[in-house]
Structure formats: C-alpha cells, structure tokens
Amino acid sequence: MCIVPPIELMDTVQMIRTAHDKSFYTWMPHINLLWPFVPSGHFDHVSEILLNDLEFNTIAPFNIRLERFHNNENSKYIHLIPETDYVPTAPTSRRPKKGRKKNQQSETELVNPISKIYNIVKRLFPQCATDKPFEPHLTVGQIPQDEIDQYRKEFQQEWEVINFQVEHISLICKKGSSFREVTSIPLLG
C-alpha cells in the first residue's frame, strides 16, 4: 500500500534513480504506507474495508511537495521527503478546561494527511504494521556512505520542487519482474 506520484512528473526523479537506484526496474517511484501488505488476491476486500471506514472517508485529496533530500545517519539510502499541509481532523470531545463553557469542548487538531492514512491503515491491518517509526519517504537511490553527503547536496542544489495532488492510495503487487498498481482507493473526504 503506497502513494504513487504521477509518472509524468517524475522525469528528474527517474534520472536520479536510473543512475543510483538498484531497484529502478523493480519499483516505480512511491511512498510506502504499509509494506509488506496483504496478498493481491485480497485487494478487493481491502478496498471494501477502507471505503467503509468512517475515518478513512474523512480524508480529502491533498497536495504533496517533494522539496528536500534526506538520508539517515549510517544509511546508504537517499530519499525525498514528502511534505504536506496539515489538515484538520474531525473535532474531538474533551473535558472542558477550567473557565470554558461546555459547548466549547470540541477541538480540531491539525495532522499530516500521510500520517493520518498510515494510522488508519495500521489500525485496520495491524498484521501488516511494524514497530518501526513511520517516516514517509520516496527513495531515489543508494549511495556509498562516504559519498552520500556530497550527492545529497548536489541533488538538492539542482532540484526543482515537484508538487502533486494525492487523490487515491495504491495497492501494488509484483507482475513479472516489476511492481504495478493493481487497485486504487479514492480519497473521498
């Protein structure tokens, strides 16, 4: 389960990946939500579960900016970090604070929509979740550790920001030697 950016916007990403990503021919550019996920034979059921989930249906299409390259310390992987505007959650009921009237107890919080989707799918499919912290990213390559800072700076210096709207999440599976989108689940909020 992932977010797949529109391929027509990925020329620059693909140029970097061609030279530096050993998985270029296996994976399309993507931002993982849950991986590994359920077998593709269950994708229709997954769609049904998500489309019937009230919280999932509050998520409206949202914009992502691919603006900043990043690598974790002691890692050979270099990523683009997907940045979003924070969106309001549904109001939550809380006990009124001292001095507040009862009708003022609902509060709206702002959340990252990618993290919101992750938390929903983690709740609905706990067997696919890991204990690792969720760090959304789009991998562009693997660089030798002693060269990664230099490459990250060069990529960043020449980078033009990519913006796109996320209108659905994708369920992908391996077909032949590469992954393909099999099902897309619309964001209806």
pLDDT surpasses 90 at 105: no
Q: List, in sequence order, the alpha helices (H) in the chain.
A: 11-20, 43-51, 113-124, 148-158
In tens, the pLDDT along 75-90 reads: 999 999 999 988 776 5
Query: Which pLDDT band holds residue 104 (cuts at 50, 70, 90)?
Result: very low
Cβ atoms of residues 151 and 70 within 8 Å = no
Query: What is d(CA 48, CA 119) in angstroms, rounded to the nearest whole number?
Result: 18
| Distance separating alpha carbons of residues 7 and 11, to the nearest angstrom | 8
List of residues 6+ apart from 156 with CB closer than 8 A: 68, 69
What confidence score (pLDDT) does residue 117 get? Answer: 96
Q: What pLDDT digit, counting tens, does each position of 9-35 carry?
A: 999 999 999 999 999 999 999 999 999
Question: pLDDT by residue (tens digit) across 34-59?
Answer: 998 999 999 999 999 999 999 999 99
Q: What is the pLDDT of residue 98?
A: 53
Q: Model pTM greater than 0.95? A: no
Per-residue confidence band for 107, with pLDDT thresholds at 50, 70 and 90 = low
